[in-house]
Amino acid sequence: MDSPNEVPDALARHQGAHGGEDGPMTLLTDIRETLLPGRDSRHGPLPPLLLSMTLVTGLVDAFSYLVLGHVFVANMTGNVVFLGFALVGAPGFSIAASVVALASFWFGALVGGRVGVRFGQHRGRHLTTAVSIQAGFVALALVLAAVSGTPVTAGFRYPLILCLALAMGVQNATARKLAVPDLTTTVLTLTMTGIAVESTAAGGRASSNGRRSVSVAAMIAGAVLGAVFVLHVAMVLPLVTVLVLLLAIVVTGRVVSRTDAPWVHP
């Protein structure tokens, strides 16, 4: 499981859908409640907003890997592995690029953590403040990408890695603090493990596998869309799409969190 809150959260959503009766929540019901949560949902509108941020991850990592070389700005597990490859001289991998990504992501997560401390008592303000900061880093990266030309030169490569890894560090810290089960927006290893372990084939109830499956699908969709944009349309289009998505999350978050709904409280 990705979070200790997963069991009570799954039970609460199960009871909400079935009036407290025993029995597993169906896959389609879980997907529906993730995409269109009800007013009494424990996490309110956070699940679809975090799914949008998962889409952002796929778009950004498609851009970083295909445009900036063998480096991720969101998936730090991959960068640790790439750093290991680079240390033994594997062709196409850069020690400097991996280190810059790792250090920038860490600093971005630090910023995201401070935002959580400052605004953590109101999840709506927490989300919108953090995503606004993230959007600022992405906007700067978009400007750099627009003026860099194609292919991106070394003088622009590292500032782009810096800005995007900072942005994704903020996002990852925010998702962690918001603690919506199975919606980490970046790490899918435990999510995919949960799909298998909680499946009926493994003896589980599969009560949260709809949410997990949608999260995986969102990441894949972002990666596919980002790759299509980079390879067949325009190099900067993934970052344009990411910035639009983040601004939409900020606006939506501000609108839906104006009331003192239960979900805004941790």
pLDDT tens-digit profile of 131-184? 999 999 999 999 999 999 888 988 999 999 999 999 999 999 999 999 998 899
Tokens of 248: 């939409």
Give the DSSP per-residue string, 41-69: -TTTTHHHHHHHHHHHHHHHHHHHHHHSS
Average pLDDT of the residues in 251-260? 90
20 torsion bin: left (phi>0), alpha (psi -120 to 50), beta (else): left
Q: Return the minimum-mean-pLDDT range out of 17-31, 50-64, 213-227.
A: 17-31
pLDDT tens-digit readout, 216-251: 999 999 999 999 999 999 999 999 999 999 999 999
Q: What is the DSSP letter of 201?
A: G
pLDDT tens-digit readout, 174-216: 999 999 988 999 888 888 888 888 777 777 676 678 889 999 9
Separation of alpha carbons 10 and 125, rounded Å: 25
Q: What are phi and psi of 185, to 5 degrees?
A: 70, -10
Q: Give the predicted TM-score (pTM) of the model.
A: 0.88
